Structure 1
Amino acid sequence: MDTGFAHAPIGILEVRPDGVVRDGNDAAETLLSVDMGTVAGESIATVFPDSVEGRVPQAFETPDGELSVEEYYPELDRWLAVDIVPAEEAVYVYLRDETDNRRREQQRDALQSDLHRLTIGTELIADVLGDLVAASTREDIAETICTQLGGTDIYEFAWVGERAVGAETIVLQAAAGTTGRTLDRIEAALDDDADLPELRAIERGEPTVVASLGEDESVPEPIRRAAFADGLGSLLAVPLTYGSSVYGVVGVYATERDAFTARERETFGTVGEMAGFAINATRNRSLLAADRVVELTLRLSDPATPFVAATADTDARIDVTGVIQQGEQLLCYVDAATACRSVEAMATTLSAHEAVTETRVVAEHDGGGSIELIQRIETPLGQLVSQGGTVQSATFGAADDRIVVELPPDEDVRRIADAITRRYDAAVLAKRERRRDEQTTGAVRDTVTARLTDRQAEALRTAFFADYFESPRGSTAEDVATALGITGPTLLHHLRAGQRKLLAAVFDATDEQTDSGRSNGDR
Structure 2
Amino acid sequence: MCPESTPTNERSNGTGDIQVLLIDDDETWARTQRRVLERQSDRLDVETAHSLTETRQSLASTTPDCLVCDYQLGDGTALELLPEVRESHPELPFILVTGRGSEATASEAISNDVTEYVRKSTLRERSALLGRRIESVVDSVRTERALAHERRSKEALLEMITTSVTREELAGDICRHLVDERQYACSWIGVHDSEGAIVPLASAGETGYVTQVLDGDTEISGSSEPALVSFDENTSVLVSSYEDASATDTPDAAGLEAVSNRTNDGNIDSENDRAQWERLASKHGFHSIGAVPIEHDQIRFGVLAVYATDSRQVDEREIAFISEYADTIGYALQATNWRETLLTSDTAHVEFTIGDREIPLVALSRALSDSTTLEMTTVIPRNETEVLCVVSTSDSSKEELLDAVSTVDAIRSIDVYKTNDPLRCGVIIEKPIPELTVAEHGAHFERTSIVDGQANILIHLGENTSAKRIETGLGDGYRNVSMTMVQTNPSEEASERGNDHTPLTDRQQQVLKLAFQLGYFERPRGKNAEEIATMLDISRSTFTQHLRAAQRKILEGTNEVK
- TM-score by structure 2 length? 0.35
- TM-score by structure 1 length? 0.37
